[in-house]
Chain A
Amino acid sequence: MGVYVYDNSFNGLICAIKAAAIDAAAEITLAAPAQDSLFSSAVEVEASPADSAAFLRKLDGLAGEGTAENMKLCWLWNGPEKEKMLLTYARMAFSKGKKLNDLLADPAVAKVLKAAAAVLREGHRLKGFLRFSELSDCTLYARMEPDHNVLPLIAGHFRRRMAASDWVIHDARRNMAALYFGGRLRVAELTGDQTPPRSETDRQVTGLWRTFFEAVAIRERTNPRAQRGGVPLKYRANMPEFDTDL
């Protein structure tokens, strides 16, 4: 029984899966203290972006396009045993081939597809629900607390949308941020939960937005259930139109 240890990066995991895929009894664990036990000989896998890309292409070739994409999305998912899920899924790409992503009744495949769909859905929602406020130095700052690690999924969207501004998207749940300054995007750790001071205009604009938000609703057709279906409560803390303290 082989244990493959990786560095907690996506490429690292893919390389570990590649190494473990041929070994039927293999397990994959995180980089955390590699303890050799009697039964396992832990192999530390090096994360190679080139190898990882090649292996993902191979999976797409075997099981059809979208397979690698599902792996990437599943990696961003917030749930237990991702390593095991992805290893099983990759192995099945070899054994099932093009049928893989149609095996909706197979629990292992269903789990991966469901996780990928959940990540996509939340990323899509946040493209709409993310709210920037303008800071006193004109930077735009958005705070979010997503269930899944959607930051890598949405950063590109906002780069296209707001190429001419400087902005920060802060995942306060993971202490990570996408920072876009002077046309360069990078992802970095960002701790601390103090919202920086907003500009004076920002307060006014937020007020106008709340006015608009109230006025477009047709009062006689109030439908909180449909509204909750649209914007689940958990996102509202970071959306000024739902802020009751203002």
Chain B
Amino acid sequence: MDDLERRIEILSAGARYDASCSSSGSDRSGGNGAAHMSGVCHSWSADGRCISLLKILMANACVYDCAYCVNRRSNDIPRAALTPDEIASLTYEFYRRNYIEGLFLSSGVVVSPDHTMELMLEAVRKLREEKRFTGYVHMKVIPGASRELIDRAGLYADRVSVNIELPTSGSLARLAPGKTRESILRPMSRLAECISASRDERRSVKSAPLYAPGGQSTQLIVGASPETDLQIMKLSEALYKKMALKRVYYSAFVPVSPDNRLPALTAPPLAREHRLYQADWLLRFYGFAADELLNERCPCLDLTFDPKTMWALNNLDKFPLEVNTADHLELLRVPGIGTLSAKRILRARRVGRLNLEDLGRLGVVMKRAVYFVTAGGHYGGLKTDSAEAIKTRLLEKKEPAAVQPQLFATAEPAGEL
């Protein structure tokens, strides 16, 4: 095996795990990742995940020693690096053969954040300017990089991301010495500024340069530190509001090697990760606030029921809801009614009154919704206002398969893009 092959092997293997700033952003759920871009999967790896991007590190050496990361300084693994030219050629040659949709470039921190960023920028600059590459580029921004370098990232990349890594500064200090909350948030807010400035400018001047048109995302590791789901959802809510992030990715902590700073996990907390994605979905598309889903008394997402069902069960006084008169936001809060079926209900209502049978045809999942709606005054659920009784019934109707972690990989359209 020649040297280039060996380095590609090391650097793509280093990029496949979630838990590092050198990884994908959503390795596990990569199966659906491409849907955010064009929905094209170019291949499927032996572990059953969609491949749409050349996901690779510039280098896997790192001056930091983050406990949860394979590439940390103290880990004894083979190290390698690619040059900017090699990254650019590889991406270009793969793209024109239709192997990939684009590049996902990350890196361990070599020498310093600035040095690393310069190498990465040089790679994507060559790709765009010398190879005239028009495909997709997602580029990680290294915490601690100087502002001038951060400002250039979005000129070449479609999407940029800085990993928030852990939910609190306490956990960062413990598990990621060398990174501070400040060193992560500063580039993030700078990227947000650049993105919105470019959008504004392009509204008046069409020829103004594009800056990360695909926006900014981040990734957070779940289960390596003691924070509750409430803390995590509050953080995500703030990131969506203040930093205008496109996505927060949650990645279940994969124990990559023993480290006494870490909890001893036997398996990654995939079920929890799945619930976080659902709750995140409710924040972004269903008008929920983090406070409504979780509170100090109940700071953790239920693993048996999805967050919307839990919210409805805790707020039974608001139900049943009459589907013929409820407004859009109210409909969205009914378990079993999604964004699409809510729209269909509104449309169908204009033509005639809806009855319970109509709802199934409109895409409502009746086995869940039935306890929470009336149609023309008719109710098909239980004559009780006890949440426990409804829970029992819901559990009876639940397919056992729904709790297998296998399915989580496809359940949530959480992409890496």
Contacts and interface: CB of A to CB of B under 8 A. Distances in A.
A134 B47 contact: no
Contacts of A133: 97
A108 B96 CA distance: 42
Given A211-B5, A212-B54, A205 B41 contact: no
Contact of B5 (A128, A131, A208): A208
Contacts of A1: none
A60 interface: no
Interface residues of A, number: 43
Interface stretch (B8-16, B164-172, B301-309, B363-371): B8-16
Interface string A105-142: 00000000000000000001001111111100000101
A175 interface: no
A231 interface: yes
Contact of A218 (B16, B97, B98, B132): B16
A218 B47 contact: yes
- Most B CB contacts (10 A, CB to CB) among A132, A208, A212, A225 go to A212
- Most A CB contacts (10 A, CB to CB) among B5, B41, B42, B47 go to B47
A216 B12 contact: yes
B5 A216 contact: no
B97 A227 contact: no
B94 A205 contact: yes
B50 interface: yes
A227 B10 CA distance: 23
Contacts of B56: 212
B48 A223 contact: yes
Chain A interface SS verdict (over half) = helix
Interface string A76-88: 0000000000000
Contacts of B15: 216
A217 to B, nearest CB: 4
B240 interface: no
A215 B1 CA distance: 14
A131 B97 contact: yes
B16 A222 contact: no
B44 A231 contact: yes
Interface in A17-70: none
A230 B54 contact: no
Given A213-B51, A215-B12, A207 B43 contact: no
A222 B46 contact: yes
Interface string B106-135: 000000000000000000000000001000
A217 B45 CA distance: 5
Contacts of B39: 124
Nearest to A134: B97
Interface in B1-51: 1, 4-5, 8-10, 12-13, 15-17, 31, 39-51
Nearest to B90: A208
B8 to A, nearest CB: 5
A140 B97 contact: yes
Contacts of A229: 44, 48
B93 interface: yes
A186 interface: no
B13 A215 contact: yes
B41 A128 contact: yes
A90 to B, nearest CB: 26
A184 interface: no
A226 interface: yes
A209 B97 contact: yes
A124 B50 CA distance: 14
A207 B97 CA distance: 13
Interface in A127-167: 127-134, 140, 142, 158, 161-162, 164-165
B158 to A, nearest CB: 15
A215 B97 contact: no
Contacts of A127: 40
Contact of B96 (A132, A222, A225): A132
A98 B47 CA distance: 45
Nearest to A231: B44
Nearest to A242: B43
A214 B10 CA distance: 11
A227 B40 contact: no
B140 interface: no
Contacts of B55: 216
A239 B12 CA distance: 20
A165 B96 contact: yes
B47 A223 contact: yes
Contact of B40 (A128, A219, A226): A128
Contacts of B132: 164
B281 interface: no
Sort A-B residue pairs by CB-CB distance and give the 7 closest, nearest first: A226-B48, A230-B44, A223-B48, A217-B45, A217-B46, A221-B47, A215-B12
9 contacts: A134-B97, A164-B132, A207-B5, A208-B90, A211-B8, A216-B15, A216-B55, A218-B17, A221-B48
Given A205-B97, A214-B46, 8 more contacts: A129-B43, A158-B98, A165-B96, A211-B5, A212-B12, A226-B31, A230-B50, A231-B44
